[in-house]
Amino acid sequence: MKRCLFVDDSSVIRMVAKKILSGPGMLVAEAATAREALDICAHEMPEIVIVDHRLPDMDSCQLIARLNALGEENRPVVLLCMCEFDVGLLMRAKRAGAQGYVMKPFTRPQLLEGIRESQVPA
């Protein structure tokens, strides 16, 4: 079973994402802040981490870099979640270790396709 962590300060967005992603093949955890996400990942690194581009306590690219540093042996697939397409932000996120992105607001097909496109290993 794959594990996914959805990091967003909006409880509504986290709830929608959890509803979309949860199922027999995926266990979904939530974090409202970058620090909470780092604590969760320090104990058990999920295979997939989706990070909102605006977090209240840390720059999203900094969080992505720190997540990749935590998972030296089994780095997670990291996706950046953006409200509007920003090439500069996406490039910074990719340099930090993100494999792709999803746009908000997302639908079920868009979120699942974003994960598939990031080449999450089976």
pLDDT in tens, 64-91: 999 999 866 788 999 999 999 999 999 9
For the chain, give the percent of residues with pLDDT over 90.
84
What pLDDT, on a 0 to 100 scale, did the predictor assign at position 81? 97
Question: Per the structure block, which two tokens stand in for 105?
Answer: 């607001």
What pLDDT, on a 0 to 100 scale, did the predictor assign at position 73? 77
DSSP secondary structure letters along 73-108: SSPPEEEEEESS--HHHHHHHHHHT--EEEESS--H
For residue 58, give every residue at least 6 positions away whose Cβ sits within 8 Å of its Cβ, in sequence order, or none: 33, 34, 35
Give per-residue pLDDT as tens, 32-64. Answer: 999 999 999 999 999 999 999 999 999 999 999
72: three-class secondary structure by DSSP: coil
What pLDDT, on a 0 to 100 scale, did the predictor assign at position 103? 95
Which domains occur in the chain, in start order? 2-117 (3.40.50.2300)
